[in-house]
Amino acid sequence: METIGEEILRMILLKLPTRDVARSSYVSRLWFILLRDPSFRKLHGKAAHIVSGSDGGTAAETSCSSRRPEMTILVST
């Protein structure tokens, strides 16, 4: 059974790009175990990921589950 903190961490990590998730596995033993879990990897492969925009002020949300990802521009303030 996961704690609330682990569940929230999982939800946050599911939004990260694959490269950042791979780097995050070195943060702590808990993160390593969570990120190496086959069920997390399967969910991450189907999840929408947030990636930084080129101008630093926007972010794009992409879905990796389709061939043509839909993009939504999110303006951060």
d(CA 50, CA 66): 15
Give the pLDDT score at 29: 92
Give the pLDDT score at 28: 92
- Residues 38-75: tens digit of each pLDDT: 999 888 888 776 665 544 444 445 444 444 445 455 55
Domain ranges of the chain: 4-75
- Alpha-carbon dihedral sign for residues 8, 15, 50, 35: positive
Give the pLDDT score at 3: 85
Q: Pick from 11, 9, 31: which is nearest to 22 by CA?
A: 31
Collect all residues with Cβ–Cβ distance below 8 Å to 75 and sequence separation of at least 6. Answer: 57, 58
With helix as H, strand as E and coil as C, how does 1-33 read?
CCCHHHHHHHHHHHCCCHHHHHHHCCCCHHHHH
